[in-house]
């Protein structure tokens, strides 16, 4: 099997307080997972009682409590922050982490979430997102301490200071949710293209489309995000799914579900579809037993 890079991701809409998230990330780092990227949302899932936490504030704290695991968002909403403000926040967390930050970013699209917080969700958000990517790319191409001026369609910058980062350039991840335009944006601006929560067939279609368009980008990383429910028995898997209010049949269509052997088989199919990195989405951030099971019984079989 192709060697796969395994990372952990969580959906903030399902809720996890800071202590729970810190315990998860420390465990993931100790168990050898290469990254932890969390969602960037401000409202819980329907019927959820937990209050989500702010992504970049949380990541700043996690940066000071970890040493090697990479940290970031999957994905930040472009509508939540002005592009220069986001660049400053990401750069600061990158320095706090010693150069371990990655920025997954998307156009934003949950109308109810935006209404809840009085955040505008413009009809032309995709075009704004593209301009925001342009600004981030331009800022990180310039030396720290210099300035950037731009008169764009949506944003005008006059001598905007370029914030210093610990890395030469912060890796940017573009998601396939906005396909086909995401294909172009990934090729132009991203270090990684991610196909989120899709079946193997859908992942193959998305990854192949980007590869055909971005054949001049041999450095581009291709990844998938998969719902993950692994257990030592069918009952254990079912209990995990029931506790999160998830339907097992639905999860199996676009996830890694079942015994460790079944998880290895599922990940192998995503590898055959072209993914070299997988984000295992854990709905219950407090379930460290599942994390340890994946590390001990699944990860060693992936190359």
Q: In the chain, what are the domain boundaries?
A: 5-141+167-301
Distance between CA atoms of 67 and 225, rounded to whole angstroms? Answer: 24
- Give pLDDT tens digits for 219-267: 999 999 999 999 999 999 999 999 888 888 889 888 999 999 999 999 9
Average pLDDT over residues 193-201: 95
CB 52 within 8 A of CB 81: no
CB 73 within 8 A of CB 141: no
**What was the pLDDT predicted at 179?**
63
Better-scored residue on pLDDT, 23 or 50: 23
Q: Indicate whether this model's pTM tops 0.85.
A: yes
CB 58 within 8 A of CB 93: no
Give the angle 214-215-218 at the CA atoms, nearest 5°. 95
Buried/exposed 233-267: b ≥16 CB within 10 Å, e otherwise? eeebbeebbeebebebeebbebbbbbbbebbbebb
Distance between CA atoms of 263 and 30, rounded to whole angstroms? Answer: 21
Q: Which CATH number applies to 5-141+167-301?
A: 3.20.20.30
Average pLDDT of the chain is 93
Better-scored residue on pLDDT, 176 or 47: 176
Compute the half-sphere exposure of residue 117: CA atoms within 13 Å on the CB side of its CA.
16
Distance between CA atoms of 199 and 218, rounded to whole angstroms? Answer: 24
- Give pLDDT tens digits for 45-84: 766 567 778 999 999 999 999 999 999 999 999 999 999 9
């Amino acid at each position: 099997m192709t060697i796969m890079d395994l990372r952990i991701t969580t959906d903030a809409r399902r809720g996890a307080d800071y202590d729970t998230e810190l315990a998860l990330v420390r465990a993931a780092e100790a168990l050898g997972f290469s990254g932890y990227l969390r969602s960037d949302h401000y409202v819980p899932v329907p019927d959820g009682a937990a209050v989500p936490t702010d992504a970049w504030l949380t990541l700043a704290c996690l940066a000071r409590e970890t040493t090697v695991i990479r940290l970031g968002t999957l994905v930040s909403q472009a509508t939540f922050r002005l592009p220069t403000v986001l660049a400053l926040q990401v750069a600061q967390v990158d320095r706090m982490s010693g150069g371990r930050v990655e920025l997954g970013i998307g156009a934003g699209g949950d109308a109810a979430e935006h209404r809840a917080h009085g955040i505008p969700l413009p009809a032309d958000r995709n075009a704004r997102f593209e301009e925001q990517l342009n600004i981030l790319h331009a800022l990180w191409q310039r030396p720290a301490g210099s300035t950037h001026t731009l008169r764009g369609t949506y944003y005008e910058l006059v001598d905007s200071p370029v914030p210093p980062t610990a890395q030469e350039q912060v890796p940017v991840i573009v998601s396939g949710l906005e396909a086909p335009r995401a294909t172009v944006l990934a090729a132009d601006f991203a270090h990684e293209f991610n196909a989120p929560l899709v079946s193997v067939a859908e992942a193959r279609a998305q990854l192949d489309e980007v590869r055909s368009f971005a054949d001049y980008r041999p450095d581009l990383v291709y990844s998938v995000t998969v719902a993950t429910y692994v257990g030592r028995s069918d009952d254990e898997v079912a209990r995990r799914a029931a506790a999160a209010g998830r339907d097992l049949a639905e999860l199996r269509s676009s996830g890694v579900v079942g015994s460790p052997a079944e998880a290895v088989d599922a990940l192998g199919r995503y590898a055959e579809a072209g993914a070299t990195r997988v984000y295992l989405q854990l709905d219950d951030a407090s379930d460290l037993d599942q994390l340890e099971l994946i590390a001990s019984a699944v990860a060693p079989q992936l190359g």
